[in-house]
Amino acid sequence: MAAFPPTVSPVYVIGAGPGGLAAAYALRARGVRAVILEKSDGVGASWRRHYDRLHLHTTRRLSALPGLPIPRRFGRWVSRDDVVRYLEKYAEHHELEIVTGVEVSRVERSPDGDGWLLHASGGRELTGSAVVVATGFNHTPHIPDWPGRDGYGGEFLHAGAYRNAEPFAGRDVLVVGTGNTGAEIAVDLTEGGASRVRLAVRTVPHIVRRSTVGWAAQYNSVLVRRLPTAFVDRLARTMAKVSVPDLAAHGLPRPDSGLYSRVKQGAIPILDVGLIEAVRQGKVEIVAAVDGFEDGQVALADGTRISPDAVIAATGYVRALEGLVGHLDVLDDRGRPVTHGPRAPENAPGLYFTGYTNPISGNIRELAIDAEKIAKAVARRAAKTAAERQRRQTRSERQPTA
């Protein structure tokens, strides 16, 4: 494919995580110059901050970015450190153009209306023909506005600040939130010597075995993701009865809503890496949701009060895109992009978002697929723009001179 015209401004990719790296490679493979702007000092910044025991819940083969497989020596379930190593190798292997230490604060249309103007740290103003926003799903920690939290006397931290169980050995810890992060941190604490671990649950989660007889749950997720929701709900309910024990006696009854219905609402099931056994054995105690803090204690929704030594809030993240693109009317009422992948908003052609959904089939897998689609859309738009410019130039040259 012909190279991107050198007179055209580059495509700027904001963020050097998996989504940004994949998009930059796919663009370069189509002859498009892509420049990644990363506010930290290296690639995969959010991955470097995750807790120590984290492994991908998706398989190695279905978690590679385009153009470079993940090494087999990293195993089937790739560790956090090996994910970082892979991302570093990916950037090096494809000779991606990455500028670190540059934070983009605002994106707006360029004065000529044909491209985009990026306002970045150090007073930089950069003009791009297109922009791919890939700042990540786990961008800014979200902590609910619990009343009385400032008066809590124990240790309080968001899961994003949790690294390992060592500081909590011999302590009573409450984990709030039953996503994959909360479930895995609870298990990590029990294995790391915490004296007591409780897990606060507001909505009973779906729990799925990460792998059954060697068959990864991700394979099922890929197979069913385009099937009717009601059908997948019924299928998942049947599979759960066969593979997951009834934990109702331990405070985790089977959910009363369908697994895939929940996924459509943005709730991914827990992929079990030890929570089931920890709950069955009483190592992780299930308690009611947190309503607030009173007199230095944690107030639960069932009216009880508890006094853990530490509270870890596994309460998710927000995308924090409002300052960057909120003025462009491209976010919904929850701060999420109204489009993703190769579809740019109608009122913002040339602006693309990747990595802001949480698909059941695996986030990194979908990032890789979206990268190729975004690159194709950018190249197609560039070719159309170049053809239009050529037509205008030809018409201008044919105009008679006075």
pLDDT in tens, 108-145: 999 887 899 999 999 999 999 999 999 988 888 999 99
Interatomic CA distance for residues 245 and 109, integer angstroms: 55
State yes or no: pLDDT of 301 exceeds 50.
Answer: yes
What's the confidence (pLDDT) of residue 112? 82
State yes or no: pLDDT of 98 exceeds 60.
Answer: yes
| Neighbouring residues of 379: CB distance < 8 A, sequence distance ≥ 6 | 1, 4, 27, 30, 31, 32
CB 308 within 8 A of CB 172: yes
Give the rounded percent of residues in the chain with a pLDDT score beyond 70.
Answer: 95
* Cα–Cα distances in angstroms (integers) from residue 316 to residues 13, 124, 155, 248, in the given order: 24, 32, 19, 25
State the average pLDDT over residues 314-323.
Answer: 93
- Token pair of 354 as six digits: 């990747």
Higher pLDDT among residues 290 and 359, named by residue: 290
| Neighbouring residues of 326: CB distance < 8 A, sequence distance ≥ 6 | 335
State yes or no: pLDDT of 268 exceeds 70.
Answer: yes
Interatomic CA distance for residues 29 and 375, integer angstroms: 8
State yes or no: pLDDT of 3 exceeds 60.
Answer: no
What's the confidence (pLDDT) of residue 359? 87
Token pair 């012909």 in the structure block, residue: 2
CATH superfamily membership of 11-139+319-398? FAD/NAD(P)-binding domain (3.50.50.60)
Q: From the CB of residue 319, how many other CB atoms can be counted at a distance below 10 Å?
A: 22
Query: 11-139+319-398 and 143-316 share one CATH topology?
Result: yes
CB 133 within 8 A of CB 326: no
State yes or no: pLDDT of 324 exceeds 70.
Answer: yes
Domain ranges of the chain: 11-139+319-398, 143-316
CB 199 within 8 A of CB 287: yes
> At the top level of CATH, which class does the domain 143-316 belong to?
alpha beta
